[in-house]
Structure 1
Amino acid sequence: MKFIIDSLVTAFFIFMFSAARFNNYYFALIAGLLLEFITTVAHNFFHLKDNWRMFLFDLSTLSTRDWRISHALSHHIYPNTIYDFEISGFEPAFQFLPSKNKSFLYRILLIPKICFFMSINLHLEWVKSLIQVYRKERQFYIPDLFPIFQLVAMVYINGSFWMALKLWLAIHVTANFILHFTALQAAHHHPHIFHEGDSYPNDKDWGVLQVIATRERGEAFFNGPLFLIAITFGNHSLHHLFPTVCHSKLFLFQDVFLETCKEFGINYQPQELNPLKHLKGFWYCLKNKTPNKDVPYVLKKNKNKM
């Protein structure tokens, strides 16, 4: 994982500086894609003990300090429930939980809202955090300024503030859009996945919740190359069960995980879904009004394949 993220960071700076030097939007788009990869891989490092690589997450307009709270103490403990900030934080614009409040207008505006929201949301959160620092409502940390440092370097190389700003925005809008797209349909939203309001098993075990609230997007994201798993939030169920274990070591748990699932009557099949099916399920959840009154899919004894 260290080699992967170090290589991505090196490539990111090469393309970012090249975009500024040659006024090249193609280089900026590639830099944005690399920044999204960095942000996703750095997520692995802020789950670990303090280390300098976790701050590579802050190269985007996100904050390691904030995410260690909202992500680790909310999403990882209460996935797909009202206590999950990565569910409630998107409401009312995007409602992943089944609700009768999803109007016709809400549903027809989903695509425009997603295109707009995914592009600028993280910028707005970053600006809000800087305003809070200015008002002394929030403690200042050097990583808060990482995006500004990038802009200053690009202005220095390019010589034009406005051109550098446009290239900088192209980089971060690209990274933000792809990050939202990847993260929001990574492993949590599909009609076979538990959402608050659905029928819940009698067993209130925390581990059971992690498994019924996550699914893999196919065999490649479970047993595939580490690079693919690292940049796509792969091995997601195992990550939820063992969040402080580096992604590079999660494969060591796979056999015993599948055996334990079988022992407790959980039919966990990594290959049953693929990215396209998961994407369709993501859209279904955004529009769905009706809670699932059946038992969670992986707990059914006799299931038909999708």
Structure 2
Amino acid sequence: MGEKWKQSIISNKYPTNRDVPLKSAQSWLDGRREDDNAEGLWRIHDSLYDFSDFIQRHPGGPDWLKLTKGIDITELFEAHHISEYPEKMIEKYKVRDTEKPRNITLTIKEDGFYRTLKRRVRTKLATIDSKELYQKLDNIHNSLLAASYLLCIMSAYYQSTFLALIAGLLVNWTVIIAHNYFHRKDNWRMYTFNISMMSYREWRISHAMSHHMYANSYHDLELSLFEPFLCWIPSPDLKNFVTRYLSWIYSPIIYAVIPILQFVKRSVLSVILGTKQLYWDDIIPFTIPLAMYFTVNIPLLTILKIWLTMLLSCGFAFGLIGLTAAHHHPEIVHDGDAMRDNRDWGLYQIDTIIDRRDLKGSQLLVLTHFGEHILHHLFPTLDHGVLPELYPVLYETMADFEGELRECSWIHHIIGQFRQLARITPNPCPPGHQKRKGNKQKFISAH
């Protein structure tokens, strides 16, 4: 890649390991340890902390701290702790101030957009009885999880390809809802993400730590994992005719095999690199064919064919929904595009997202289609049932900081995603200054 295109808009250094042949969650973490000036400790803003004695007592579970040792966790810490208590508590683990500046150039200042919004959200949450809202999400997840296994068994009983395709859609919706749970403290529901053959462990890194914190940038592992086949960065060095236009044709095939390829990749990396990529929870997806085997008296080969059909259906639906949910459209900021002068992390999150307005009003659609995307990125640990209650303070704070809430329909996101795959010219105008043409898309200002 040319040097011009290695200048990230959110960091001082092009990410180490971004262009290695075998990209993985582990290679991303290794690169961050090399780039983050954390000196083998945990960096938050311009201070170094040693949480070694706190790992097993971390309320969110030990993995969050185990994985991030040697990394700058500023954005992770801010986004995952709404309460003021953690900021006070960590002072006893402080080692010293840092000697080198942060590699990430985004800011989270006390008087900035995100900290202001978080203070207002904290006040608002104190007035909300969230127990019932959380229970509603749990009930929807329970229902879809049970329906997924039931329909898989029915597809085996009737040996129906059609039912297997529908079962795959249900598994996909179950997995999308399950993704909300691995953003939080350890819980049994996060394991249901694995029924798709994907791994919540890997996605805690690629999604929660990478994509959620640095969406659409060179630091977003969810972008680099698809390259060179799918590339949304507007760089002529990364794209050719095939990736710009033929990707429109072969992208559905990539969607379909995402879950299977992720399982295969983890298995291969375990053998080639000798690093632990597989865990006990990687047997969870096999509970589906086992459920079919022990309840339906049909040949094993038939069960495997039905399971494969279900997995491909799940993968296609997951890829289609996930990659056209909110992030890829020519008017959304990607690395290389101009950024606003205010480099507040919260405003950057908003600039990398256009929400889907066609999901509003339906809790089920929001949960199964990555809805309420802006608020979910800003406060990933909050239940989706709570997020709609936060719009008044979001509008208020966006108005104070010249932010803009943009929305469009799913069809415009799908079309925009293909346009983004073809785009190689960076947007020269920062968000808020771009001219919006025509009435095909409706963008709603916070003012």
TM-score higher than 0.5: yes
Partner residue of 1:69?
Answer: 205
Superposition deviation, residue 301 in structure 1: 9.0
- After TM superposition, give the deviation of residue 141 of structure 1 in Å: 2.5
Q: Distance in 2 between matches of 1:278 and 1:174?
A: 21
Alignment partner of 1:6 out of 139, 142, 150: 142
CA contact (8 A) 1:267 1:300 kept: no
| Residue in structure 1 matched with residue 411 of structure 2 by the alignment | 276
Q: Structure 1 residues 236 and 167 mapped into 2: Cα distance closer, same or farther (>3 Å)? A: same
Superimposed CA distance per residue, residues 137-179 of structure 1 (whole angstroms, 9 cap, x where no aligned partner)? 2154222011222223323424311111110001010000110
1:10-36 Cα shifts (integer Å, max 9, x gaps): 111110011111211121111100000
Alignment match, 2:267: 130
Q: 1:166 & 1:251 partners in 2: Cα distance? A: 41
2:383 paired residue among 223, 246, 257 = 246
Residue in 1 aligned with 2:429?
294
Amino acid at match of 1:4: I
Tell me, in whole angstroms, the C-alpha distance in 1 between the residues paired with 2:276 and 2:292. Answer: 28
Question: How far apart, CA to CA, are the structure 1 residues paired with 2:406 and 2:347?
Answer: 15
Matched, 1:115 2:252: yes
Percent identity (aligned) = 35
Structure-2 separation of matches of 1:215 and 1:258: 15
**Secondary structure class of the residue paired with 2:346:** helix
1:225 is matched by which residue type in structure 2?
S
Q: Give 1:134 shift.
A: 6.0
Q: What is the letter of the counterpart of residue 427 of structure 2?
A: N
SS of residue paired to 1:247: coil
Cα distance between partner residues in 1 of 2:240 and 2:268: 34
1:226 corresponds to which of 363, 383, 395: 363
User: What's the CA shift for 1:61?
Assistant: 1.0
Q: Distance in 1 between the 2:169 and 2:200 partners?
A: 19
Cα distance, 1:112 vs. partner?
A: 3.5
Question: Where does structure 1 differ by over 6 angstroms across 4 or more consecutive aligned residues?
Answer: none
Task: Confirm or deny that 1:145 pairs with 2:283.
Answer: yes
Alpha-carbon distance, 1:204 to partner:
1.1
| Contact 2:245–2:422 (Cα < 8 Å) also in 1 | no
Q: Distance in 1 between matches of 2:241 and 2:277?
A: 42
Aligned equivalents of 2:186 and 2:278: distance in 1? 18
- Please tell me the residue identity of whatever aligns with 2:379: F
> How far 1:303 moved relative to its partner?
5.7
Q: Which runs of 5+ in 1 are unaligned?
A: none
Q: CA–CA distance in 2 between the matches of 1:132 and 1:17?
A: 32
Match of 1:98 in 2: 234
1:104 CA displacement = 2.1
Letter in 1 for 2:259: L
Tell me how far apart the structure 1 counterparts of residues 236 and 325 of structure 2 sit (CA, whole Å).
25
Q: Which amino acid is the alignment partner of residue 283 of structure 2?
A: L
* Inter-partner Cα distance in structure 1 for 2:206 and 2:158: 39
- Letter aligned with residue 256 of structure 1: V
C-alpha RMSD of the superposition: 1.8
Structure having greater relative contact order (Cα 8 Å, sep ≥ 6): 1
More helix by proportion, 1 or 2? 1
Q: 2: CA distance between counterparts of 1:236 and 1:181?
A: 16
Match of 1:195 among 317, 329, 334: 334
* 2:351 aligned residue: 212
Rounded to whole Å, the distance in 1 between the matches of 2:259 and 2:428 is 35
Aligned residues: 300
Q: Which runs of 5+ in 2 are unaligned?
A: 1-136, 442-447
Alpha-carbon contact 1:25-1:167 (below 8 Å) kept? yes
If the length of structure 2 is used for normalisation, what is the TM-score? 0.64
Once residues 83 and 269 of structure 1 are traced to their aligned partners in structure 2, the CA distance between those partners, rounded to angstroms, is 24
1:235 aligns with 2:372: yes
Structure 2 CA distance for partners of 1:301 and 1:255, relative to 1, 3 Å = farther
For the 8 Å contact 2:218–2:224, the answer to whether it is kept is: yes
- Counterpart contact for 1:79–1:213, Cα < 8 Å: yes
Q: Deviations over 1:48-90 (max 9, x none)?
A: 1111111110111110111111111100111110000111111
Instruction: Output one character per residue of 1:191-237: Cα deviation in whole Å (capped at 9) or x when no partner.
Output: 1211110111111110011000011121x43x421111000000000
